[in-house]
Every structure is written in C-alpha cells, then in structure tokens.
Structure 1
C-alpha cells in the first residue's frame, strides 16, 4: 500500500500521470550507455515504494512525508549526577566540621587540633568551588543555593574565626597572640615551653618576672615567715643526728657522711636568679644493710617517730603496693611487687622543716634484688655520688630559703611586684 496520501486540494496533471522512472524507457539524453541502469525516484527518500514501469507516478510535491521516529528520553541512570546531592553532603560536612571547631576552641581543645580542622575546611572549600562552577553552568537554582549556604557556613564558622573570637575574649589562651605563636615553635627551648607544673607557658609570662627576687613555687609569706637559711640548716642537722642515734641504738649501725652540706643560690623559676638559697644537708649512709623484713619495718617506725618531732607528719612509703599501680611498675622501681621481694624501700616527705623542704630515706638491700634493676638504677649514685651499693641513706634539703642578712633587701626588691599575682 502506498504510504503517501493525495492532498485533496491538489489535482493531477498529465505530466505527473505520465512520469516514468529514469532508465526504464531507455537511457536519458546524454547518459552513458554503458552505465548500469538506475532507478531514480524508485524508492522514496521519505519512505515511498517502488513504482512499476508504466504506472502513474504521484506528484511528490503535494504529499507530506511520514512522521520520523522520536528518540526516547535518556533514562535516569544515564543522566549526569546531580549537583544537589553533592552540595547537601558537603553542606552537612561543613556544618559538622564547624561545630567541632567551635567545641574544640571553646572547651579546651589545643591549637594543633583546630588547625587540622582548618585544613579539612579548606579541602571542603576547594570542592565547593568546583561545585559552584558546575552549578552555575547547569543553572540549577537549588544546587547553587545549597553550595552558597555551605560557603557561608565555612567562611563564617571556622577555626580562624572561632579562634579569633576566643583570642579576643581570652588573650592569654591558646588562641591569643602568644598562644598561636607558640603553635609554630617559640625560641628558647624548654624556657619557652611549659612551666612543667601544669601552669602558664613560659612564653606567655611577662619578662618582668625574670627579675623576680622570690620563688615561683614558694609563696612569699612562707619564705618570710618560715625558717630562714640558718634555722633550716641547724634543725636539719639536729634531726639527722637524732635519726642516726636512734637507729644506731636499735641496730648498732656505723655511719659515713657520703656528701657534705652545701649552700647555693636558688633560681626564681622564671629563668633568673632569686635572692633566696638552696641548702642540702650532709648525706649520711650506714655501713651495712638490713636484710630482715621485721628489722626494716622497725627502722621505718623509728624514722617516722623522729620525723614527727620535727613537724614532718606526711612521710609516705613510695614502694607500698597500691591498686592504682600498673603491673610491673613496682618491680621496675623497687625490685618487686611486694615488700618482701623489694630491694628498695623509699620514704618521702615534702614541706619538711621549711616550705621548700624535702626529706627522704632509702633502705637498700641488694641481696634480694632478683631482677638487678635496683642496682642498675643506683649506678649514678654509686659511681658519681660515692654512695655504697646498699644500706640506709638519709637525705634532707630545702629551696627558697631566705638568709636573715638579706631580709631587708629582699622585701625592698619585692615592691615592684606588689599587687601582682605570681604566674604558676
């Protein structure tokens, strides 16, 4: 069946009815007689059929071509990925990182952590810029809106802006000028680092404190009202003499002075010299060790009794087993996990006789040093300080001691610091 329909407003003509396909009735004028015959117009370019020879041929100028097939729209999975979903994910990521930055900055986070978050936000910004360009090209309003919202969140809430606000509120904190300068390393080695007591960083402390005449670690009141240098030396010598006498009476010891008394200038804790002194009493040691645990316990009892008469009531046994100890810790330091197996017993007390005083006693018995760790730990004391491998040792020293002759000058030197709080 023909695929053309005649338009009713067109009429046929004799010329149209007598149309013949080329090559059917003979070669056309001027054509190559040797060329193979060709059927011109035999097949319609728009879907016509072959006309038999001698059949009337339609006037194609009056016919409409058949409709061409319409291509199906691309499937959803074949479409380019939407910018909207990527933007939403990055918006949520930017909000999450910004929230962590705020939490870290205001609730005690350290600067390196916040700078790491800043790096993450920078990466988010780079990706966002690419999505902005893509969204602009695709003319997707929703995608562009999400990306712009993400950029606003990232630019307004990030470690730099949050840290800057905190630095204004708390200039001495880690986001103040000095705190951020310390992030990249401050000159001066340990002097520019932490104070070691959990207090202010040395880099944050006003240089005026380098000339402080007192001690960073001992209050002025304790220095002025407490034992002076001469008093401490006198009382420490008396206490050590009483200890030696009491222990000798119990165990028949002989004693050797391993190190003489020593007085030296004390630092102020800020990198400068104070007007105070450090005193180290003579170090005494017995010529023999106690090996019986009962005798060791008796020696500890005698030492406590004498120390209490000199106001030392906080004498603690460092080697005592306790639940908070890590497994193997006592063995590493004292040679065993129980008193029976420990080659070293150590008693210690602070604020002994003076605010900056420290008293310690070591009871060493290397005969039960099964691991050899105690003797190894004592290598320096034996080789450099002249101590015997074992025995009972008595140590007493103090810092921040004011010499009576320097009292007036010391009080005068404190005047520039009146009303100031000593950094800790």
Structure 2
C-alpha cells in the first residue's frame, strides 16, 4: 500500500541535485516579474548588407528623353508657340519618347527610372502643354492659328484673281460716285417728266472694305450710293412695265449697254423661291418687282481679271398683293428706321472693287512689295 509518508520521508522520484558549480549557461530568471530582464551574455549578430543594384542605362535614357521633351515643350509654352507644339515634328518626337519609356518598363533594372519617365511624360506632353498654350493664347487674344504665309496673304492689298493693273485703269471710287449721281439724276428727271413722281432721298452713301480673297481686307472698297424713292405707289402691271422701260431708255442714253433684267421673273429660280422673295411666282400678283443691270464706264469690265462691274437696281413695292402681311411688316420697320416710303419705286447703285484716288500710290507700293503675284 502506497502512503503519502513515503514521499515525505524519502527522496525517491525527486530531480537530481545540480552538479558542483551549477549548470553551464543556465537561464536566469528575475526574482520578480516586474524586474528588468537580464542582458544577454553575448551581442546579436548584425545582418550582412546586400549589394546595391545598378540601374540599367536604358532607364536613364528613357528618363532623359522624357525630361528633354518636357523642357522643349515648356520653352514653347513660354513663347506662346501653339502651332509649333501641335506641329508634325513635335508629335513625332512625342511618339518616339513614348515608345522609349514604355520599352524601359520591360527592361530589368530600368523599370524604376522608366516609371519616373512615364510620370513625366504623362504630365508634360504635347496634349497637356498644347492645351495650356492654346488657353493662354486665347485668353490673351494672341492665337489666330495662322502661319506666316497666311498672314502675308491676308495683307495683300488687292483682290485674288483681280489684275492690279486693270484696277488702276478702271474708274476710281470718286469717278464712280460722280457717275452714279449723274445716272440717278438723269433717271429721276426722266421718270418725273413722264409720270410726275416726286422723290425722297434715303440715307447717305457708304463704303466698306472688300475682302481680298485670302482672309483679309483689300484696299479696294464697295460703295453703296444713297437710295432714291418715289413718294407715289405704282399699282398696275402695265404701269410697272412702263416705268422699267423708261429707266432702260435713260440708262441707254447715259452709255449703259446692258438692259434691265427682271430678277423677279428669272426662270432659273423655283416658284417656291420666287414666292418667298417676291410674294408670288406670277409677276401680275407679286409684291416686289426687282430689276437690275451692270454699270460699267469702260470696256475694261469685259477683260479677264478686271474688277467686278458695278450694279444698278430698280425695285417696285406694291403692298396690295401682300396677303400674308410679311412684306408690310418689313416695309413698316424700314419706314420707322430711315423714313423709307412703304410703297413705290426705289433706285439703288452699288459700286464694287473700287480704288480711291487717295489710295492709289499706297496701293501701287503695296502691290510692288507683296510677294503674291
């Protein structure tokens, strides 16, 4: 029978006693769990440093290409050279740089530099810098998207396909103004004698520069003579034709070779267009009759490269045929604006591609200096 006193009185089963001097390298524990830990009897071994990895030269090349292109673009941005930024050369360089940067991303030891180059290329490229330059130029009003040749052509003093020598030989602005005044007075006198018309002058003569055919303004001008209108309406178709025939006779006596042509009876215009322009396709029920002819003082108008001939318009308005009220509304607006009679005959001369005598010397010098033949 096993009893507890066996273990108390004897040492059977107990661990052996330590050898003299104790165990070698025995672990020591603090006397209290709150006491500081004992230092290790030996120093820990430091890890060996890894050798530095060298960057591949292709990565440096990609970074240099991206930085170089970005620098060039920034310089062009500072100069406001928007056209150059969007030019073929810069776009080609951008494509080359993009190819180099992308290739660097697949080269070992070049990916880090390639990633930096990619960041630079994404931020500073033809698209971003070009957009910034366009916005800057637009805000300053300095960008017109034109080349040096475009600007040179825009400064051409003449008109494209018009011979400058024939311009100098043609009637001047002042001569044509005097001719218009003479023709208008002759026609008004003829019509007054035949039909007893009285007249009112509407507005003053005015000029505006002609376009030169290259996107700019020419030294030649278009002249709009004052309009003369009758104070009496013209109702019947027969009287309208008599008036136009009388005008034709007066122009012929003054040296105008071409007879009046009725635009309101032009066979080349559709009936729908005639209805919108003149109120009807039938002259007998039209609100507006509009006849015209060319006015030229010399035979130069028939030569190739000559200035466009001047024009004369005779227009009769008869509101008794205005069933829609559209023409009356337009005439009432003109009457309120400048006193134009609601109905009756109007005479109007238009001079085209005319050179003022005051600009003759400047025109000759500008033509001589222009690189355009």
* TM-score normalised over the length of structure 2: 0.53
Distance 2:243 2:353 in 1: 31
2:244 to 300, 310, 322: 300
Conservation of the 8 A alpha-carbon contact between 2:222 and 2:353: yes
Match of 2:323 in 1: 370
Match of 2:214 in 1: 270
Distance 1:327 1:276 in 2: 37
Distance 1:337 1:273 in 2: 38
Match of 1:124 in 2: none
Distance 2:371 2:234 in 1: 53
- C-alpha spacing 1:315/1:216, structure 2 compared with 1 (3 Å): farther
Distance 1:217 1:301 in 2: 36
Match of 1:286 in 2: 230
Please list, as runs of the form range in 1=range in 2, the aligned pairs for 1:143-162 lying within 5 A after superposition: none
Match of 1:254 in 2: 198
Instruction: Say how many residue pairs are matched.
Output: 221
- C-alpha spacing 1:221/1:258, structure 2 compared with 1 (3 Å): same
Conservation of the 8 A alpha-carbon contact between 1:335 and 1:372: no
What value does the CA root-mean-square deviation take over the aligned residues?
A: 3.0
1:253 CA displacement: 0.4
Distance 1:337 1:234 in 2: 37
Please list, as runs of the form range in 1=range in 2, the aligned pairs for 1:177-188 lying within 5 A after superposition: none
1:378 CA displacement: 4.1
- C-alpha spacing 1:321/1:276, structure 2 compared with 1 (3 Å): closer
Deviations 1:271-303, CA, capped at 9 Å, x for gaps? 433323332212100001111211110111111
Q: Does 1:222 align with 2:175?
A: no
Q: Does 1:332 align with 2:249?
A: no
Match of 1:382 in 2: 335
Conservation of the 8 A alpha-carbon contact between 1:321 and 1:337: no
Please list, as runs of the form range in 1=range in 2, the aligned pairs for 1:341-420 lying within 5 A after superposition: 341-350=285-294, 352-353=296-297, 355-378=308-331, 381-417=334-370, 420=373
- C-alpha spacing 1:227/1:273, structure 2 compared with 1 (3 Å): same
Distance 1:325 1:364 in 2: 20
SS at match of 2:158: coil
Distance 2:159 2:295 in 1: 15
1:310 CA displacement: 3.4
Instruction: Give 5+ residue unaligned stretches, structure 2.
Output: 1-137, 139-143, 302-307
Deviations 1:298-355, CA, capped at 9 Å, x for gaps? 1111112222333251531111152x43233222211122111111100123455473
Conservation of the 8 A alpha-carbon contact between 1:212 and 1:414: yes
Deviations 1:137-160, CA, capped at 9 Å, x for gaps? xxxxxxxxxxxxxxxxxxxxxxxx
Report 1 or 2 for greater relative contact order, CA contacts < 8 Å, sequence distance ≥ 6.
2
1:383 CA displacement: 4.1
- C-alpha spacing 1:270/1:238, structure 2 compared with 1 (3 Å): same
Conservation of the 8 A alpha-carbon contact between 2:279 and 2:286: yes
Q: Does 1:239 align with 2:183?
A: yes
1:401 CA displacement: 1.5
Distance 2:248 2:156 in 1: 37
Please list, as runs of the form range in 1=range in 2, the aligned pairs for 1:81-160 lying within 5 A after superposition: none
- C-alpha spacing 1:310/1:217, structure 2 compared with 1 (3 Å): farther
